[in-house]
Amino acid sequence: MSLEIKGGTIYREGAFVANEGLVIENGEGVIDVGNSFLLPGLCDVHVHFREPGQEYKETIETGSRAAARGGFTTVCTMPNLNPPPGDLDALRVSLACIERGRASGAAIQIVPYGTITRARDGRGELSDMEALAPYVCGFSDDGTGVQDRANMRAAMELAKSVGRLIVAHCEDDELVRSGRIRESEWRQIERDVKLADETGCGYHVCHISCRESVEVIREAKKSGVDVTCETAPHYLLLDTDTLERDINAAPAFGGRYKMNPPIKDRADRIALIEGALDGTVDMIATDHAPHSDAEKRTGFAKSLNGITGLECAFPALYTWLVQAGAMPLERLVEMMADAPRRRFGFADNGYSVWDFETPYRIDSATFCSKGKWTPFDGWPVYGRNRMTICDGRIVWKG
């Protein structure tokens, strides 16, 4: 059996062309998408689905539905979990949750990370990477930077031996304590690209947010280091001017803007966009990190770090980068579909069908995610996902 999709404009090999009839194996039926755009299934290598351990914030079921609604057919789940997947027994708990959640949620591809350090604390004993490697997309202590240079070097050597990436949240605790927040990010990147060069390990940097990080990675790439990086929609679309204006206008909603790393200034935002355009910044990941209402409705200072992103990322970026003339649509799709699949070794596994003609406002109350706190709530946008197809199955229809 097969599913045939007629009409629309389709993205093929980096360009948009008229769809002359797309046939998807293992599906069934015929769908006419009219004037819609057919994009490859988006791929997000940085999401938090909170299960096991904090199901009140999100579950595999609710997170997978949110992803499918946002046009994503592959996501990589971060290891900020209880238990943290630092050995095979702990990972099996996560894998069982993924199987149950996909069965009751959206049948998209969900691939977990293993931890770098066994306790995901950025210190001490390394995880059992050899046992974890067949089941994970890479190793990360996301939320915690690996503090010791020797420990990171050992981690890179071990990850290279099992053929997996080190995916680093870069944050130096000592620099944070001294108030040097931006330096805490780029200094660890500077350390790590040298180690990646020395060890030959594939190295990927999470959610870069400042211009110094862009420059360090740009120079490392020129030197042939095997390094890639991601940034997030909020770093490309927001800066401290926006943050201060909006928080002053509505202090109770300051939690919408609280994340780690924090939003930086206008020059950083421009540098990130320039890095995205010249290929220094490889991909965009949402860092979808839902929290409960009680954890976010406490103002900026007291809210927990993390915002919801899967269901609004592509419309916000399409409207405020592509339509604004700051980025070609082809580059946005490359960064949200092609580049992450290449780097992490994922095959194409679906399509999303987008209406770019009808304006609407982002309304977090309608989100499938349990998390409703996003800085893009209420933003006027174009780009509504009409349908997501994964492995021949329609997993979202809006």
- 114, 132 in Cβ contact below 8 A? yes
Cis peptide before 52 (omega within 30 of 0): yes
Q: Which of 44, 141, 287, 377 is catalytic?
A: 287
Please give the structure tokens belonging to residue 102: 């996909």
CB neighbour class for 274 (10 Å; exposed up to 12, middle 13-18, buried from 19)? middle
The overall longest dimension of the chain from CA atoms, in Å, is 62
Asked about 355 being catalytic, the answer comes back as no
CB neighbour class for 331 (10 Å; exposed up to 12, middle 13-18, buried from 19)? middle
Label the pairing between strands 2-6 and 42-47. unpaired
Instruction: Spell out the alpha helix ranges (H) of the chain.
Output: 60-69, 88-104, 129-132, 149-161, 173-177, 181-199, 211-222, 233-237, 240-249, 266-278, 293-296, 299-302, 313-317, 329-333, 339-344
Whole-angstrom distance, CA of residue 73 vs CA of residue 41 = 5
Whole-angstrom distance, CA of residue 235 vs CA of residue 286 = 10
Cis peptide before 261 (omega within 30 of 0): yes
Whole-angstrom distance, CA of residue 170 vs CA of residue 62 = 28
Q: Is 287 helix (H, G, I), strand (E, B) or coil?
A: coil
Whole-angstrom distance, CA of residue 23 vs CA of residue 324 = 33
* Residue whose C-alpha is closest to residue 48's, from 114, 128, 142, 138: 142
Q: Which residues pair with 203 in a beta bridge?
A: 166, 227
Whole-angstrom distance, CA of residue 266 vs CA of residue 274 = 12
Catalytic residues: 287
